[in-house]
Amino acid sequence: MPDHITVAGVTVDTRHWIGGQRLASPGTFTDLSPIDGSVLGEISRGTPAEATAAVAAAKAAFPSWAATPRAERARILHAIADGVEKRIEELSIVETSDNGALLRSHRRGVMPRVAHNFRFFADWLLKLEHEDFETRGHTNHVSWDPAGPSVLITPWNAPLMLATWKVAPALAAGNTVVLKPAEWSPLTASLLADIAAQAGLPAGVLNVVQGYGAEIGDALTSHPDVRRISFTGSVPTARRIAASAAPNLTPLSLELGGKSPLLVFADADLDLAVDLAVEQYDNAGQVCLAATRILVEESIAEEFTRRFVEKATALKQGDPRDEATDIGPNIHPRQLEKIDGFVQRAVEAGARVVIGGHRKEGQYYAPTLLTDVAQDSEIVQEEVFGPVLTLQTFATEEEAVHLANGTRFGLAATLATGDRERAERVSDQLVAGTVWVNCFFVRDLQAPFGGSRLSGVGREGGTWSFDFYCDLKNTVTAPNGWNNHG
């Protein structure tokens, strides 16, 4: 098999990146484009041997990288950001080909955010400090020590952006990294390895191992030399990772599923509320934060639904490389089958299809809205991860909060209201890691990010990321007892 493939004119190495070298596995897996189902290439299919070699490379590189001064680590991270910015067009077209997200979004938002991830954590590293404090004349000094090799397992819906959301703080903290990208969208992780090497990141500090989690996951997450594991994905996979990491008590950061609500009160700006609701179809509904449960006050439900249908049916679905496209394909035939299964079972259980409810040609699913759904139904309780929304109504603020909090998840919530006091009151009662009021998807890297309940464990962002990727140390020094007086 060839060591490289060409995707839209961009050359991508199909081998792993371990210890500063490209290494192939005996077997491969096929990477398909969701745009048209075409084969992009055969990718090295990692085995426990490659996974173990990557951890060994990360362990060997750790002492030197951990001892690298903060300013030098920051300089290299900025150099990686420079490399990303020089290749935004290449990264964008490769990722669109690989995961089907809109090319215009990659160009204008996603890939610039990739570069920003590196710049932000490089800069945050340089100002990371805790003010010394006194205890009975003794001085307390808090420091963040690099923890060690870190395994980062990332999803397919925003492959490079979500990978670097983990890679950047881990490297800034002084850790070495083994990155395992999702097998449905592995290509930009390989390009990142090239960019990092060209930026001067030492060999072994970043390693990339491709393959199936079921085949190499345990070799990574159960390894005694791994000191941190960060995972974004499903709850069942998180449970397996946690069980694998438990014997070594390896600290975990888990960003998992969501079933987030959008609460629309009668006093809201209705046009804004409709815009927020339609925005939940972004990335073909493959967004963990998406507010897929629309909760609307009864008195405005009919008008809200009318306006929603008008706006949603005007969305253009098609080739994500077309600038005019609003919704692209879903990632994989298996995911499309899962989405349709949720919808058909909901209809069989009594749900009414307002729009959509069916597959389209290829790997495209029509934007769907379902009503007449019970709170305890599967379609309301389980994450679909596709362009499928439900609409329920409420009569009182108390009922709205009850419905909003009525799942096992707690990743995010969105609230549309014209009453500031109500916004504060309801936000305080919502179980969610992030609450947006009259807006959606406004993200700042210095804010804590994560989920409650089954939506995750821990928080990342700003200092919270360094708290996870480091071992915090408090040094307490007595005021006397010195032999010298310098």
- pLDDT band of residue 482 (cuts 50, 70, 90) is confident
The predicted pLDDT at position 203 comes to 98
pTM here is 0.96
* Strand 10-13 versus strand 4-7 pairing type: antiparallel
Q: Are residues 325 and 202 in the same domain?
A: no
The arithmetic mean of pLDDT across residues 176-185, rounded, is 97
Q: Taking 90 as the threshold, does the pLDDT of residue 486 lie above it?
A: no
Token duo for residue 338: 């899962």
Q: What is the Rg, in whole angstroms, of the alpha carbon atoms belonging to the chain?
A: 24
* Strand 470-477 versus strand 228-232 pairing type: unpaired
- Answer yes or no: is 484 within a domain: no
The arithmetic mean of pLDDT across residues 453-458, rounded, is 96
The arithmetic mean of pLDDT across residues 441-454, rounded, is 94
Q: Are residues 242 and 272 in the same domain?
A: no
- Answer yes or no: is 206 within a domain: yes
Spatial distance between the Cα atoms of 338 and 335, rounded to a whole number of angstroms: 5
- Answer yes or no: is 450 within a domain: no
Q: Roughly what angle, to the nearest 10 degrees, separates helices 111-127 and 70-86?
A: 170
- pLDDT band of residue 481 (cuts 50, 70, 90) is confident
Q: Are residues 266 and 399 in the same domain?
A: yes
- What's the CATH code of the domain at 281? 3.40.309.10
The predicted pLDDT at position 485 comes to 57
Contact 423, 268 (CB under 8 A): no
Residues contacting 189, CB < 8 A, separation 6+: 154, 159, 160, 163, 179, 181, 208, 210
Spatial distance between the Cα atoms of 378 and 349, rounded to a whole number of angstroms: 9
The arithmetic mean of pLDDT across residues 417-435, rounded, is 98
Spatial distance between the Cα atoms of 248 and 482, rounded to a whole number of angstroms: 40
The predicted pLDDT at position 141 comes to 97
Q: Are residues 116 and 32 in the same domain?
A: yes
Number of domains, the chain? 2
User: Of how many residues is the chain composed?
Assistant: 486
Contact 147, 478 (CB under 8 A): no
From the list 255, 297, 383, 460, the catalytic residue is 255
Q: Taking 70 as the threshold, does the pLDDT of residue 150 lie above it?
A: yes
Contact 20, 8 (CB under 8 A): no
Q: Are residues 203 and 349 in the same domain?
A: no
Q: Are residues 251 and 354 in the same domain?
A: no
Indicate the DSSP class of residue 447: S
Q: Are residues 252 and 297 in the same domain?
A: no
Q: Roughly what angle, to the nearest 10 degrees, separates helices 213-221 and 235-245?
A: 40
Contact 258, 450 (CB under 8 A): no
The predicted pLDDT at position 292 comes to 98
- Answer yes or no: is 479 within a domain: no
Q: Are residues 336 and 199 in the same domain?
A: no
From the list 95, 183, 288, 470, the catalytic residue is 288
- Answer yes or no: is 73 within a domain: yes
Spatial distance between the Cα atoms of 239 and 259, rounded to a whole number of angstroms: 18
The arithmetic mean of pLDDT across residues 459-473, rounded, is 97
The arithmetic mean of pLDDT across residues 159-167, rounded, is 97
Give me the residues paired with residue 139 across strands.
134, 477
Please indicate whether residue 323 is annotated as part of the active site: no
- In sign, the C-alpha dihedral spanning 244, 245, 249, 254 is negative
Residues contacting 319, CB < 8 A, separation 6+: 35, 325, 328
- Answer yes or no: is 376 within a domain: yes
- Answer yes or no: is 486 within a domain: no
* b/e map 429-445, b = 16+ CB within 10 Å: ebbbbbbbbeebbeeeb
Q: Taking 80 as the threshold, does the pLDDT of residue 267 lie above it?
A: yes
Spatial distance between the Cα atoms of 222 and 213, rounded to a whole number of angstroms: 13
The predicted pLDDT at position 1 comes to 63
- DSSP string covering 253-281: EEE-----EEEE-TTS-HHHHHHHHHGGG
Token duo for residue 114: 């990739």
Give how far Cα 286 sits from Cα of 321, 336, 451, Å.
17, 11, 17
Ranking 36-40, 55-59, 478-482 by mean pLDDT, the lowest is: 478-482
> The domain containing residue 338 runs over which residues?
261-437
Please indicate whether residue 439 is annotated as part of the active site: no
Q: Taking 90 as the threshold, does the pLDDT of residue 2 lie above it?
A: no
pLDDT (tens digit per residue) in 342-399: 999 999 999 999 999 999 999 999 999 999 999 999 999 999 999 999 999 999 999 9
For residue 78, how far is the Cα from the chain centroid? 22
- What's the CATH code of the domain at 172? 3.40.605.10
19: left (phi over 0), alpha (psi -120 to 50) or beta: left
250: left (phi over 0), alpha (psi -120 to 50) or beta: beta
pLDDT (tens digit per residue) in 312-343: 999 999 999 999 999 999 999 999 999 999 99
Q: What percent of the chain has pLDDT over 70?
A: 99
The predicted pLDDT at position 15 comes to 98
pLDDT (tens digit per residue) in 64-96: 999 999 999 999 999 999 999 999 999 999 999
- DSSP string covering 63-112: HHHHHS-HHHHHHHHHHHHHHHHHTHHHHHHHHHHHH---HHHIIIIIHH
Q: What percent of the chain has pLDDT over 90?
A: 98
- Answer yes or no: is 327 within a domain: yes
Q: Are residues 111 and 222 in the same domain?
A: yes
Q: Are residues 376 and 466 in the same domain?
A: no
Spatial distance between the Cα atoms of 372 and 346, rounded to a whole number of angstroms: 10
What average pLDDT does the chain have?
Answer: 97
Q: Taking 80 as the threshold, does the pLDDT of residue 484 lie above it?
A: no
pLDDT (tens digit per residue) in 241-259: 999 999 999 999 999 999 9
Q: Are residues 160 and 252 in the same domain?
A: yes
Q: Are residues 76 and 162 in the same domain?
A: yes
The predicted pLDDT at position 270 comes to 98
